[in-house]
Structure 1
Amino acid sequence: MDSIHRNRLSSETSPYLLQHADNPVDWYPWGEEALEKARKEDKPILLSIGYSACHWCHVMAHESFEDEATAAVMNEQFVNIKVDREERPDLDKIYQLAHQIITRRPGGWPLTMFLNPHNQLPFFGGTYFPNTARYQLPAFRTLLEQIAEYYRRRRQDLNEHGKSFADILQSIRQGEEAEAPDASVLIRAKRELESNFDTVNGGFGGAPKFPQVSNLEFLLHLWLQNPHEHASGLRILTTTLAKMAEGGIYDHLGGGFARYSVDAAWQIPHFEKMLYDNAVLLSLYAEAWQSTRAPMFAKVVEETAEWVIREMQSPEGGFYSSLDADSEGEEGKYYVWDREEIRELLPPDEYAVAELHYGLDQAPNFEGQWHLHVETSLPEVAGVLGIEPAEAERRLAAARSALFQARENRVRPGRDDKVLTAWNGLMIKGLAAAGRLLECKAWIDAAERAFEFLRRELCVDEDRLLATYKDGRAHLNGYLDDYAFLLDAGLELLQCEWRTDRLNWLLKLADQLLSRFEDRERGGFFFTSDDHEELIQRPKALMDESMPSGNGVAALALLRLGHLVGDYRYTEAAERTLQAATPSVRQYPHAHGALLSAMLESLHPPQFVVLRGQPEVLRAWTAAARDAQASGTRRLVFAISAEEPSLPGILAERRVEPGEVAYVCEGMSCLAPILSLQDFRDFLQTPAETTP
């Protein structure tokens, strides 16, 4: 396309915005320049929100934003603003809610909203619009002309609509009166999840099917609290994780998960791979392996961690954002196979195993081709072929290696190589937890590199975070998720290896959470800081979306930090958050998995174990605690060298005794110090008290 079409997106860091820098549309990034132009020229704003791995965003771009005639209408009638929802989740949250209010149905991406230039309030919106009328949707160019005409002729209606819309936003912000959570909230959530569980395929509900990791994590932690009473939670978890690992949502050659499945059986995914999905799934599969010792779960953790480090970690240490669903302009082309291609790549004995295991003997399952999923288990394959299971495993491993190498020669999906603080926080926690539980130092080292990268490149004034980084440039004021997810990740890293300087920095981060984000009047945390640009709403999101709720993660991390150092400013802020959220959780329990886990931990705190002594000796103590965790007790373990000076808060009172010592607290009560490894092992084997 001619360089004359180069627009104002060309200087942005977002790969998604850069994809549109050559459009004939006169795109602006969100900012004062565009907003002032719209006010001055009295033109409505066309706000388009998407992200680089979004398939339908690409379709609409190709059909409409690359079309000269459509662009001419957009440029004449509107001020056009393009937003990457991953860099500006604040705008995305606001205008997704606006879309839901206006259309009374859920939104999605691409999001297309039309705003009054004088107050940024929306007056019409939708998601994808085709270039010609179809799918019961108007042609985009026709819609543009109708919207522009409406704006010119119906100002009184527009003003009245804006006032009523602002009133709705204000009522949403007020929320309901806070109340203290209790066990009934947890039980109601469990029962709702049980009733929505797909007993055949795992997961919840039908197609399209998302992993809903926060809900699964809640059920696992509820089971750990009382294994007898909540056995159904473990069954839901293990069934779902096994079905996902066997399904096509999982990449059987390269590791890692796609974003969701378009069918109820997890067979055909929407092929984009998001960093955040794989981060939370890493943590969950690692915890599930610790509780069950199922080899399948360990295999998924290993392969997914290897994929993340191989394909998603930058040389500087940070993790990239996503892999596209498309390659060479076709969704899934990189991942799907022609059966004869596989037959030619593999020796007959290996093909015989792969054919039965991956369903190549069945009908094609994706547009005339095969997307790999487990159709027949390896023991069954071995039985059919009359070979030993170990031989079937050997042949499959060789086949997978050959297919992976062949796939490596294909044109890869596009990669969004910006580094997002919040998403990196999730992946740091995922890799650190997996490395700690499965004893893999390489994964912990990768998490450490990313954590230090964020501190070095996305932190200003020692404890203020920026949201995004690319090509040496970090910018945009940090959001709640940036602070909450990184705080949570830092606490996980402290369980892997203690560093007092890191704890001191995490305390500064927590103080920023309280001072910049907390709603001191009603409890909970706003999504944007108190010095963020003023928008039409200051969101306070409680429900999980594509990622766990920032309020849920903040509450959990603050509870843990407060108990660890004995600073009850943090635990009290967490309790205020849970009280503010309880009415919403009671109404829609299935939508608040992260907050449910925080509520469970508030009502039934885990054991906090602080070990002091010589590091090489303490390894045996931490191994004993890790191995005992499979028995059901939720436990956090921090091994602190005897040489560590100047510990903050009550940690300073965890003094070093002759030899090694374990300090164990649960809630508001602590045991006498445990002074021998055998006594510590005996304590770990003591059955925990259970509650509903």
Structure 2
Amino acid sequence: MSNAHPSPTGHANRLAATTSPYLRQHAHNPVDWWPWCEEALALARATDRPILLSIGYSACHWCHVMAHESFEDTGTAELMNRLFVNVKVDREERPDLDKIYQTAHQLLARRPGGWPLTVFLMPADQKPFFAGTYFPREPRHGLPAFKQLMQGVERAYREQKTAIESQNESLMAALAELEPRASDALLERSAIDTALQQLDESFDPEHGGFGDAPKFPHPTNLELLLRHATDASQAGAPDRPALEKAVWTLERMIRGGLTDQLGGGFYRYSVDARWMIPHFEKMLYDNGPLLALCCDAFAVAEDPLFRDAAVMTADWVLREMQSPEGGYWSSLDADSEGEEGKFYVWDREEIQALLAPAEYAPFAAVYGLDRPANFEGRRHLHGYRTPEAVAGDLGLEPAQVQALLAAACATLYVARERRVRPGRDEKILTAWNALMIKGMARAARTFDRPDYLESAEQALAFIRGTLWREGRLLATYKDGTAHLNAYLDDYADLLDALLELLQTRWSRVDLDFALALAEVLLDQFEDPIDGGFWFTGRDHETLIHRTKPLGDEALPSGNGIAAMALQRLGHLVGEPRYLAAAERTLKLAAESIGRMPYAHATLLFALDEWLDPPETLVIRAGDERLDAWRREAQRGYRPRRFVLGIPADESHLPGTLAAMVPGERPRIYRCRGTQCEPPTESLGDVLNPTP
């Protein structure tokens, strides 16, 4: 199942020996591909041929289109092999390269990038001098033919070297200028208020979400609204519109085509404003944060819709995305049998033949089967009406409609399982696993699901046993091989996931692991002078640029996650170095946040907790009250409360935890920031303090 696009038999190129399923999809191309490696770079220098760098990923539809049109074509391959040293990169294994050359593309082409990314590099120093994305085999849509483009680029390299070198100087200066500068700017809550205002201005009141098509889920923005609404309510000044924006957006996403209505899980994004037709790939890095968001929305609104979406997503992960070794696989392809979405879409007659009449009536009403087909003559399941609205029309109780819909979905799911499945990228990435570990731990705690906790623990055990070596993380694993130095996101996201797991159940091993990760972050990634964290460690391969990414992208900001997790860990164990590193990061980011606050939601969470430190509760007990008190303290949605239940027999704890000793009876310690109160033996005194 892992190979979405089987290659023809015949001679294999160097990509056959790589760990990336995406690179292996190109192993039988007639192109003389290289992975990114010193040998390829040396060959380019020795032969004075530019590097044709192609960056993509296995679930990318247009990557497959360009591969079929050009990389499998012998005439195109012959030209590529003659003119260039051709290097193929999996952006998921090498996000460092992708970040650099995507930014370079935006500077060179003056438009957003994407995948496949096609960049031509100088052979001497890998600086880019021309960049684009998808190019067709024949001219169309205003794009030149790929062969025509390559000939023009190679001719420019030979005939315009002086101009290219001048352009490269300007490009490198522009890249340097984009990096944040050290600042003593005051950190104020006004940035959070501005972000909320920006979200309000771009909100789509009809369909939910922000802006127009294409629409992405942006779970960090929805979390910002939930956190703000909760804070406002607790402060006695409820902001009902903020809560409604978050809840309405998530409801439209769940009922609509962004969600797999039969199998669970969220697709990548919607190509329209109504959340109807998605780009059909399913990515682990989307589903981890969205799983956690559904848990939080249920804790706030207690709407079973959010519970059901969370459970369906978590169950899909257990069923389809967790390897026997314990780690989570990366993604499901958008395509099957060469067609995007083919696995997921239906004909109305097909559905009618599979369902009993009593099931078909409510199913057709909810999913609009009486309406025109919505996807290339076929139907992708999108909820046009709610079960409650349909129940009245059919003279049924809502519970009856729900039961009939569940039966119909189960029947269609079984039928769909007989189809040719989309390919699965079975590499295991540390950062993406961390995002799902956090989501699974949150779901385990919210819904009291030991199987979700076990899943998260298995993934963590795999990372610790396979991707943690000699005190350093590795970024990726496939087929018995773990390799590549880990990136900022790997360390920050895993530290954050460990803190989530520690709130779900105690583990001294996990606390020690969290402390070890924090030390590597400070030693290898932090800039102690200007503040913030580099995306790559100090001993990483030297590239043309070293980035400090601050904004949220497809993944939450590594700098934001690091700042927030270090603050929480620093408060927990009383380590001022962690708190100082977080503060330096926020000061570095102040100017960038000020320019576009809503694009820095994760850093805003850290800023919020820097301005008003969260409450930390440490429970010490030796009986069943340990878990009972922890659960009670975690009831509802409390993003500003960090709860740890430590067994009474646990000793020699690090830092300030060492002073939080157990008593003869269960006791609870309450701290806010670096200020702690005397312990109490009354949970009620802590949860319901008297004014």
What TM-score bracket applies, with the shorter chain setting the length? over 0.9
1:619 equivalent in alignment to 2:622: no
Instruction: Write the deviation string for residues 631-668 of structure 1: whole angstroms up to 9, x where unpaired.
Output: x6721110000011211100000011111001011123
- AA at the equivalent of 1:303: M
Aligned position for 2:361: 352
Aligned position for 2:272: 263
CA distance in 2, matches of 1:233, 1:393: 29
Question: TM-score by structure 1 length?
Answer: 0.97
CA distance in 2, matches of 1:226, 1:489: 27
Gap regions ≥5 residues in structure 1: none
Q: CA deviation at 1:160?
A: 1.3
- State how 1:378-393 maps to structure 2 within 5 Å: 378-393=387-402
Q: CA deviation at 1:63?
A: 0.3
Aligned position for 1:207: 213
CA distance in 1, matches of 2:238, 2:318: 39
The answer as to whether partners of 1:611 and 1:660 remain within 8 angstroms in 2 is yes
The answer as to whether partners of 1:178 and 1:581 remain within 8 angstroms in 2 is no
Q: CA deviation at 1:173?
A: 3.0
Question: TM-score by structure 2 length?
Answer: 0.97
Picking from 682, 685, 688, the partner of 1:685 is 688
Q: CA deviation at 1:353?
A: 1.2
Q: CA deviation at 1:2?
A: 6.7
Picking from 364, 368, 371, the partner of 1:362 is 371
Aligned position for 1:604: 612
Instruction: Write the deviation string for residues 571-616 of structure 1: whole angstroms up to 9, x where unpaired.
Output: 1101110110010001011211111111111112211000001141
Aligned position for 1:587: 595
1:272 equivalent in alignment to 2:281: yes
Picking from 420, 431, 438, the partner of 1:411 is 420
Instruction: Write the deviation string for residues 153-186 of structure 1: whole angstroms up to 9, x where unpaired.
Output: 1111122112222222222235363423211111
Using the aligned pairs only, state the percent identity: 54
Q: Which moved more, 1:154-163 or 1:312-321?
A: 154-163
Q: CA deviation at 1:230?
A: 3.5
Aligned position for 1:477: 485
CA distance in 2, matches of 1:514, 1:383: 60
The answer as to whether partners of 1:517 and 1:529 remain within 8 angstroms in 2 is yes
The answer as to whether partners of 1:615 and 1:640 remain within 8 angstroms in 2 is no
Picking from 463, 466, 484, the partner of 1:457 is 466
Aligned position for 2:656: 650
Aligned position for 1:181: 187
Distance 1:226 1:671, change over 3 A: farther
Q: Secondary structure at the match of 2:105?
A: helix
CA distance in 2, matches of 1:534, 1:193: 38
1:321 equivalent in alignment to 2:330: yes
The answer as to whether partners of 1:224 and 1:634 remain within 8 angstroms in 2 is no
Aligned position for 1:533: 541
Instruction: Write the deviation string for residues 468-490 of structure 1: whole angstroms up to 9, x where unpaired.
Output: 00011100000000000000000
Q: CA deviation at 1:248?
A: 0.3
Q: Secondary structure at the match of 2:624?
A: helix
CA distance in 1, matches of 2:448, 2:541: 44
CA distance in 2, matches of 1:552, 1:79: 38
Q: Which moved more, 1:159-168 or 1:304-313?
A: 159-168
The answer as to whether partners of 2:180 and 2:548 remain within 8 angstroms in 1 is no
The answer as to whether partners of 2:347 and 2:378 remain within 8 angstroms in 1 is yes
Q: Secondary structure at the match of 2:627?
A: helix
Instruction: Write the deviation string for residues 534-583 of structure 1: whole angstroms up to 9, x where unpaired.
Output: 00001110011111010000011100100110111111101110110010
Distance 1:219 1:361, change over 3 A: same
Q: Secondary structure at the match of 1:592?
A: helix
Q: CA deviation at 1:360?
A: 0.9
Count of aligned residue pairs for this structure pair = 682
CA distance in 2, matches of 1:604, 1:79: 54
- AA at the equivalent of 2:312: E
CA distance in 2, matches of 1:199, 1:290: 23
Instruction: Write the deviation string for residues 391-421 of structure 1: whole angstroms up to 9, x where unpaired.
Output: 2121111111100000010000000000000
Q: Secondary structure at the match of 1:519?
A: coil
CA distance in 2, matches of 1:340, 1:651: 64
Instruction: Write the deviation string for residues 492-529 of structure 1: whole angstroms up to 9, x where unpaired.
Output: 11111111122112111100000000011210000000
CA distance in 1, matches of 2:58, 2:403: 38
Q: Which moved more, 1:61-70 or 1:212-221?
A: 212-221
1:468 equivalent in alignment to 2:468: no
Q: CA deviation at 1:387?
A: 1.7
Picking from 675, 682, 686, the partner of 1:669 is 675
Aligned position for 1:49: 55
Q: CA deviation at 1:682?
A: 4.6
CA distance in 1, matches of 2:307, 2:208: 19
Picking from 107, 112, 117, the partner of 1:111 is 117
CA distance in 1, matches of 2:399, 2:454: 33
The answer as to whether partners of 1:54 and 1:324 remain within 8 angstroms in 2 is yes
Picking from 71, 78, 89, the partner of 1:83 is 89
The answer as to whether partners of 1:217 and 1:597 remain within 8 angstroms in 2 is no
Picking from 241, 244, 266, the partner of 2:253 is 244
Q: Aligned Cα RMSD in Å?
A: 1.3
1:232 equivalent in alignment to 2:241: yes
Q: Secondary structure at the match of 1:443?
A: helix
Q: CA deviation at 1:685?
A: 3.3
CA distance in 1, matches of 2:418, 2:210: 37
1:336 equivalent in alignment to 2:345: yes
Aligned position for 1:491: 499
Aligned position for 1:160: 166
Aligned position for 1:220: 226
Instruction: Write the deviation string for residues 239-295 of structure 1: whole angstroms up to 9, x where unpaired.
Output: 111110111000110000000000001010000000010000011110111111111
The answer as to whether partners of 2:434 and 2:490 remain within 8 angstroms in 1 is yes
Aligned position for 1:9: 15
The answer as to whether partners of 1:178 and 1:522 remain within 8 angstroms in 2 is no
- AA at the equivalent of 1:503: L
Q: CA deviation at 1:623?
A: 2.1
Aligned position for 2:29: 23
1:554 equivalent in alignment to 2:562: yes
CA distance in 1, matches of 2:409, 2:680: 49
Distance 1:566 1:402, change over 3 A: same
Distance 1:2 1:219, change over 3 A: closer
- AA at the equivalent of 1:477: N
Q: CA deviation at 1:229?
A: 4.8
The answer as to whether partners of 1:642 and 1:656 remain within 8 angstroms in 2 is yes
CA distance in 1, matches of 2:142, 2:587: 44
Aligned position for 2:450: 441
Aligned position for 1:511: 519
Instruction: Write the deviation string for residues 38-92 of structure 1: whole angstroms up to 9, x where unpaired.
Output: 0000000000000000000000000000000000110000000000000000000
The answer as to whether partners of 2:492 and 2:558 remain within 8 angstroms in 1 is yes
Distance 1:604 1:2, change over 3 A: closer
The answer as to whether partners of 1:272 and 1:324 remain within 8 angstroms in 2 is yes
CA distance in 2, matches of 1:383, 1:265: 24
CA distance in 2, matches of 1:173, 1:634: 31
Instruction: Write the deviation string for residues 185-223 of structure 1: whole angstroms up to 9, x where unpaired.
Output: 111111111111111111100000001111111221122
Aligned position for 1:522: 530
Q: Which moved more, 1:275-284 or 1:214-223?
A: 214-223
Q: Secondary structure at the match of 1:593?
A: helix
Q: Secondary structure at the match of 2:616?
A: strand
The answer as to whether partners of 1:176 and 1:583 remain within 8 angstroms in 2 is no
